[in-house]
């Protein structure tokens, strides 16, 4: 174990990211957990982000809730941010695997908007992508809920969510199955199932979709928000029409000069 820890720290302190990445790719789950707990907050953030997605998810789920919380807070630390900031964007894109959707959600929800800004680099979303624009403030429903249950959930969560006029239907893993408007929910009978009133045609963008492309889509299809999904089609955020308009306005101003 001592050897594992020394190797990891050596790669970390010599900034040898490629060697670190290879090391993390080969290490088993249990030794990883043991080495991980002995690291400093900054080191944890860096190591965690260099893990492949499946290992990151396993490690995160093995941590106690308090340790999970500390790990997510460390994503805003300057040391970790600088580490990734020093990389060229293409290297960063190659080295940082997508975060598991459940981790992304917890991370985005535990941060204020300005803190979110600071973690964008660690999230692995490059500049001017939908991932950078998205907000975690949306409400999800389940197919098997009744309209009354769903309305109760909306009323409970409305205060803390930016967008409540579009509702997303997902399974337990947050895979996107449908969408409906709050208006459609209000019109339906209380005993109807969400599965029966939702629309199956969901237009979405990916975290790495260019922000202008997302903005143009929002402008064209006249919706309040577009869901943003990761590579597993799990919903990780939404981009609102307001954000889209700001992007198009900024772009129009840029084009004038």
Which residues are at the interface with a copy of itself (CB under 8 A)? 154-155, 158-159, 164-165, 182-183, 186-187, 222, 242
Residue 194 CB, nearest approach to a copy of itself (Å): 16
Residue 249 CB, nearest approach to a copy of itself (Å): 10
Nearer of residues 232 and 242 to a copy of itself, judged by Cβ: 242
Nearer of residues 25 and 165 to a copy of itself, judged by Cβ: 165
Nearer of residues 89 and 190 to a copy of itself, judged by Cβ: 190
Nearer of residues 119 and 166 to a copy of itself, judged by Cβ: 166
Residue 183 CB, nearest approach to a copy of itself (Å): 6
Residue 222 CB, nearest approach to a copy of itself (Å): 7
Nearer of residues 9 and 197 to a copy of itself, judged by Cβ: 197
Which is nearest to 188 in space by CA: 197, 179, 201?
A: 197
User: Tokens 């919706």, residue?
Assistant: 223
Residue 252 CB, nearest approach to a copy of itself (Å): 10
């Amino acid at each position: 174990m001592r050897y594992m820890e020394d190797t990891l720290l050596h790669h970390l302190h010599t900034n040898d990211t490629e060697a670190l990445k290879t090391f993390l790719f080969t290490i088993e789950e249990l030794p990883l957990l043991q080495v991980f707990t002995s690291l400093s907050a900054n080191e944890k953030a860096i190591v965690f982000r260099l893990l492949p997605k499946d290992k990151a998810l396993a490690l995160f789920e093995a941590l106690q809730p308090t340790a999970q919380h500390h790990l997510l807070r460390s994503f805003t630390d300057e040391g970790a941010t600088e580490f990734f900031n020093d990389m060229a964007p293409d290297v960063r894109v190659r080295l940082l695997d997508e975060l598991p959707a459940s981790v992304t959600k917890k991370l985005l929800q535990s941060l204020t908007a300005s803190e979110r800004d600071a973690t964008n680099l660690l999230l692995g979303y490059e500049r001017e992508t939908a991932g950078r624009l998205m907000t975690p403030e949306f409400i999800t429903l389940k197919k098997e809920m009744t309209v009354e249950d769903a309305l109760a959930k909306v009323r409970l969560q409305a205060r803390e969510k930016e967008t409540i006029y579009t509702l997303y239907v997902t399974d337990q893993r947050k895979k996107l199955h449908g969408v409906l408007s709050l208006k459609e929910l209000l019109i339906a009978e209380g005993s109807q199932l969400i599965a029966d009133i939702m629309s199956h045609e969901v237009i979405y963008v990916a975290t790495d979709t260019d922000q202008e492309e997302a903005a143009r889509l929002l402008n064209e299809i006249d919706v309040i928000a577009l869901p943003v999904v990761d590579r597993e089609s799990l919903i990780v955020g939404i981009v609102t029409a307001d954000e889209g308009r700001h992007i198009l306005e900024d772009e129009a101003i840029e084009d004038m000069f």
